Amino acid sequence: MRRIDTDVLILGSGGAGLFAALHTLQVAPDLDVTIAVKGLLGKCGCTRMVQGGYNVALAKDDSAERHFMDTIEGGKWLNNQDLAWTLVTEAQVRIRELENELGCYFDRNPDGSVHQKAFAGQTFDRTVHKGDLTGIEIINRLAEQVWSLGIKRLEDHRAVELIKTTDGSALSGVLMIDIRSGDFTFVRARAVLLATGGGPTMYRYHTPSGDKSCDGLAMALRAGLPVRDMEMVQFHPTGLIAGPDTRITGTIIEEGLRGFGGHLLNGEGERFMTRYDEQGERATRDIVSRAMLSEMRAGNTGANGGLFLTMRHLDGTAVRKNFRGMVDRCADCGFDLVSGLVEVVPTAHYMMGGVVFEVNGKTALRGLFAAGEDTGGVHGANRLGGNGVANSTVFGGLAGDGIARWLASAGELAEPDATALNDACGHCLHPFEKPSGDIEAIRERLYDMMWEDAGIIRDAASLERAQTELDALRRDLNEIGVNAGTRAYHLAWHDWLNLKNLILVSRVIVAAATARDESRGAHFRADFPDACDIGNSWFTSARLDGDDIAVERKPVRFTRIRPGETLLRETAAE
């Protein structure tokens, strides 16, 4: 087994991971920093796929307080308020860092000020963007800085297990697979950042690429770490649906189109959103997704079982100018976004839940830090569009600062638990000891079950079915294997490992959803359609207890504001 020592190991090369690397070296330039990524740095991950933009209060009539209130109310008061306040205030710092220090250039108004567009669920147009290709702009500039600094990279390396020290009191390092050779690598580090991103690809329709399989969350669970809010899975209302034979199905048709004035139509050509919410198409993502699913279940659908987005009532030149990427993507799939109908479906997009962490990135395991979509608490029960990339860049930078400062007086290289390391290797090699089977059939079963029984609308019966099927899927996966031979670029092997992680995280989603006997934000229970007492809100905290999922309720601490109050002076004065 190849062994590597480094001061700081960063798992993931999205906005959180790359910002953490840069900030670590700003504080402590002599540290040895290594970035490990499942694909190629700058070319994979979810931040690069961001279309919509970056929420930040910049305009004269906007404020951090107003952004905070939108975030808390959008999160249905489940947010960790200290984390949410950090998000909205540090976003103002980070957006200037992106432009002034890293070289991002966002769209401008005629007077030269930064253009900010409308996004659903917000009371002010505060979404900074680069057309509809914002993520590419951010990641390209971040990657250029990382390359220029000569930061070490382990590309095509997937992390498979967090390995503790012999006494179990701290993290020693991370076991990885070099995808190019299939060999194991153990990276010992003084500090590790978990920034692999989420990726709810266990659902039939999903926005992340197929290689996103909740690896970070699964590793954290196996290491005994608590995760919170895991029942809160966000469905983006408008995922492109182009039939079952293309991977483009599920990818986002961005929210800014609805903010710009786009309409949603059912299969009969009727606009329906105003029947579900007075904000119409600009309601929050959870409301729009549920309304769409209700129309779909009523049979009011298009040829592929979806609904329609249309911009044809708007100025075509303006649509082409502001959404060039979307116009081209739709055209590639045979849809005319400017003057026709584009078939769409709600698509699993983001996980509000994740590892419990502090503002500086610390977790319950000594030596392990976390940032980005691997973490929970920032968004509560529902994330506002545009707050995701702000979350990654804000807390990635803060984690880098925190790691560097912590290592100034702590965090020595420590030997791994040899038994745990050997066991982890054995678990990874398990599918080579079994007869090859139909992995795709298991994936399809997972897709269908999570979409139908643990998706946008749930109830006790559907969640019980989901739990039963997940137990069966886990058993069935353990009984099938992959073809032996070279382990280099063994895609079936990695599909097996992906499914193992997705099934584990799905079990936690279902357990947390079962525990929340109310409806709140992205979590809707048809058998408990109302929210409980907001003033006595609680969040779910789950952990792996042996082979079972243990879930407990923990009270939300209203550290800055209580339900019914506001930070907005003009509102308070009325």
DSSP class per residue in 373-435 = GGB-SSSTT-PPTTHHHHHHHHHHHHHHHHHHHHHTT------B-HHHHHHHHHHHHGGGGS-
Name the pLDDT band for 570 (thresholds 50, 70, 90). Answer: low
Q: What is the pLDDT of residues 375-390, one digit of tens each?
A: 999 999 999 989 999 9
pLDDT at 243 over 90: no
Question: Mean pLDDT over residues 336-345, rounded?
Answer: 95
Start-to-end CA distance of the chain, whole Å, equals 67
Cα–Cα distance for residue pair 211/489, rounded to 1 Å: 13
Whole-prediction pTM: 0.95
- Token pair belonging to 331: 């055209």
Total Cβ atoms within 10 A of residue 543: 19
Q: Looking up tokens 């116009």, which residue turns up?
A: 327
543 is catalytic: no
Identified catalytic residue from 258, 282, 383, 487: 258
Q: Exposure of 27 by Cβ count < 10 A (0-12 exposed, 13-18 middle, 19+ buried)?
A: middle
Name 216's Cβ contacts closer than 8 Å, sequence gap at least 6: 11, 12, 159, 194, 195, 196, 197, 198, 355, 370, 374
* Count helices and strands in the chain by DSSP H and E runs: 15, 18
In 165-323, the DSSP E strands lie at 171-178, 183-194, 227-228, 233-240, 263-265, 307-310
Q: Looking up tokens 């708007």, which residue turns up?
A: 314
pLDDT at 152 over 90: yes
Name beta bridge partners: 91. Answer: none
Cα–Cα distance for residue pair 311/305, rounded to 1 Å: 20
Q: What is the largest CA-CA distance in the chain?
A: 72
236 is catalytic: yes
pLDDT at 303 over 60: yes
Question: Mean pLDDT over residues 178-201, rounded?
Answer: 96
pLDDT at 549 over 90: yes
What's the Cα-to-Cα distance from 512 to each of 507, 516, 536, 542, rounded to whole Å?
Answer: 9, 6, 18, 7
Q: Would you say 291 and 242 are in contact if contact means Cβ atoms under 8 Å apart?
A: no
Positive or negative torsion for Cα 88, 90, 94, 95: positive
Give the strand pairing for 183-194 and 2-11. Answer: parallel
Cα–Cα distance for residue pair 42/50, rounded to 1 Å: 13
Tell me the one-letter amino acid at 78.
L
Identified catalytic residue from 129, 157, 188, 236: 236
% of the chain beyond a pLDDT of 90: 87
